[in-house]
Chain A
Amino acid sequence: DSGVTQTPKHLITATGQRVTLRCSPRSGDLSVYWYQQSLDQGLQFLIQYYNGEERAKGNILERFSAQQFPDLHSELNLSSLELGDSALYFCASSPGVGRGYTFGSGTRLTVV
């Protein structure tokens, strides 16, 4: 157990739907990062939060949004889902900006 908890582990949903992925960072870690891993794109950085504030944005679609709550857990919201959104979504946490990552076990999203 890495200490980073992601739920759910698996999610199957239909096109056009909206889902929420949840991440609880390791105790004491203030930074949360979201990554998408699809077969043809590798690991793509989506967004980072530090202590509740957005710090960096990567290749995140406008249909996707995220937030970090006061208890430091984070949620990634994916809406108007398309078949191409099927991927593994990872959350990682670190003690601070630019420090080493610890990944959660990921959420496997399948859009049908």
Chain B
Amino acid sequence: GIQVEQSPPDLILQEGANSTLRCNFSDSVNNLQWFHQNPWGQLINLFYIPSGTKQNGRLSATTVATERYSLLYISSSQTTDSGVYFCAVGGGGTGNQFYFGTGTSLTVIP
């Protein structure tokens, strides 16, 4: 299957700071999503972004499919942003499943 690497594995931010999370993948894909798993375990879809750039409030994401990476930007972080951010890729030659990275654990302190 496709290898998905996320960096950094852990991140601690002061409230109000900005951050960039990275996702590298090993093969061409047709689908890419970013998810946020909150402290209660819920997986929330942030972006469906197989290519290009999208923005939603303080969050934005960019995928450069030809170079096999995606970036998630969090600006003016808030304590509610804490949790684990997962990148998942699928499609292309991978069949029907999405492959998940191991996540970036973000802690935002007040």
Does A56 sit at the interface, judged by CB under 8 A?
A: yes
Segment of A14-22, A41-49, A67-75, A77-85 in the binding face: A41-49
- Chain A interface residues (CB < 8 Å from chain B): 2, 31, 33, 42-43, 45, 48, 50, 55-56, 58, 88, 90, 97-103, 105-106, 108
Q: CB of B97 within 8 A of chain A?
A: yes
A-B contact count (CB 8 A): 52
Which residue of the partner chain A has the closest CB to B32? Answer: A100
Roughly how many angstroms separate A2 CA and B103 CA in the complex, as a whole number? Answer: 21
Would you call B56 an interface residue if the criterion is a C-beta within 8 Å of the partner chain's C-beta atoms?
Answer: no
Chain B residues within an 8 Å CB radius of A42:
100, 102-103
Closest to B29 in A: A98
B80 within 8 A of A: no
Which residues on the A side are within 8 Å of B91 (C-beta)?
98
A-B contact pairs, 21 of them (CB 8 A): A2-B44, A2-B45, A31-B96, A42-B103, A43-B88, A45-B97, A45-B99, A48-B96, A55-B96, A58-B97, A97-B96, A98-B30, A98-B31, A98-B91, A100-B45, A101-B33, A101-B45, A102-B45, A103-B43, A105-B41, A106-B41
